[in-house]
Structure 1
Amino acid sequence: MDQAKINVLLDREAIRDCLYRYCRGIDRADERALRSAYWPDANDSHGAYRGSAEGFIRFALGVFQTGSRNIHQITNILIDFTTPAEAAVESYFTALQRGPDEDGEVRQMLLCGRYCDLFQKREGEWRIAERTVIYDWLEEQAPPALLEADRFGARQPIGAHHPDDPVYALAKHRVLLGMDAERFRT
């Protein structure tokens, strides 16, 4: 395989990794991960929100404070390189979102759709420059009546916001062991 094909594979993987960081950022209320998915000058058309990615991030951070719960899954990632430094990316998502509405009543929604993103590569890094969220399915669901501790029972640990989610302890463990990404690139 020649170097050009290897570079395309590496670029594809970097774009996928960025999409996954976005999901972790939203689901774990991890501001750093969320910000790492967007370029500072990016725009986002996200349902009722339309504006800068910075504005969307501030909006999301406000939602995180309500104790909301989000689960996002990304599938069917199609990447079309329009130039060596730009890619049109369509990725399907399923999101289960639960949290209080404006009146404080807990709502739960199942959302399915697609992220249609313009990715740009700047200084060797791929991030979202423009995002439009297309909704294909919306279903309001009855939120569970039981508290999470009662519903999950012995199924522990329960996912949590940053930094309390167990995944962050795993990341700290890896750093202590010296198992960073650079080690695996050689």
Structure 2
Amino acid sequence: MAQDTTSSQVQDLVRRLQLLEDKEQIREVLYRNARGVDRADPALLKETYHPDGYEVHWETFTGNGHEFSDFITTETATARSVYHSVTNPLIDIQDHRAFSETAYTARTLVDRTPELGGWVEVVVWGRCLDVLEKRDGVWRIAYRQLARDGAKRTIVPDPLVPPALTCGRPDRTDPSYLGMAIAERRPPQQAGKDGMFVAQRHLP
């Protein structure tokens, strides 16, 4: 009886560990998807969709996930900045398939001075509703649909622009692609003599 109990406990532990591993892999897919859009990296973004994956971005784009990857990264490369934050992933795994609801906030800053008299900042928020499938041991998005919960557009005639050296970039020159090598390119020390808020007022 004791041996049967131990075997059952081990099997239960294996199932729980597999569930945790699957959920972590799915979260990684969600995070990499956001990064692929922000860094205008179509190869990275395509890795998060199965080849027959489907993306419902409503009137912006609805169709194949890999085609969406090419479309959206061409768009984001033209923006001053694009930023996605994904949070609160709720993941329900059923065998080789999973449903995920993830909150998102997206911010874009685009120069629209000729048409609108300034830069346009658009902030949208809502949830990504994803069906993911595990094929050959790999989780990827099979279907994604946005549930939009709000949006705000602001025209900014004279936006604050951080110095070029400090800015993120919508391509593979972004410092995040250095990985751990980023520590080898550290800038020289600089004392915060003026204080953070004074320094911010000096941004161009």
TM-score (norm 2): 0.74
Q: Which secondary structure does the structure 2 equivalent of 1:61 belong to?
A: helix
Match of 1:71 in 2: 83
Q: Which secondary structure does the structure 1 equivalent of 2:53 belong to?
A: strand
Count of aligned pairs: 167
Question: Tell me, which stretches of 5 or more residues in structure 1 are unaligned?
Answer: 175-186
> 1:31 Cα deviation (Å)?
1.6
Match of 1:35 in 2: 46
How far apart in 2 are the matches of 1:80 and 1:16? 12
Correspondent of 1:121 among 134, 154, 158:
134
Match of 1:180 in 2: none
**Identical residues among aligned pairs (%):** 31
Higher helix residue share: 2
User: Cα gap change, 1:144/1:29 in structure 2, threshold over 3 Å: closer, same or farther?
Assistant: farther
Pairing 1:29-178 to 2, within 5 Å after superposition? 29-48=40-59, 49-82=61-94, 84-99=95-110, 106-143=119-156, 145-146=158-159, 148=161, 152-153=162-163, 157-170=166-179, 173=181
Contact 2:124–2:152, Cα closer than 8 Å, also in 1: yes
User: Which of structure 1's runs of 4+ aligned residues deviate more than 6 A?
Assistant: none
> 1:124 Cα deviation (Å)?
0.7
Note the aligned Cα RMSD (angstroms): 2.2
1:5-63: CA deviations, max 9, x gaps?
00000000000000000011011111221111111100010131211112211211320
How far apart in 1 are the matches of 2:46 and 2:109? 22
TM-score (norm 1): 0.81
Higher strand residue share: 1
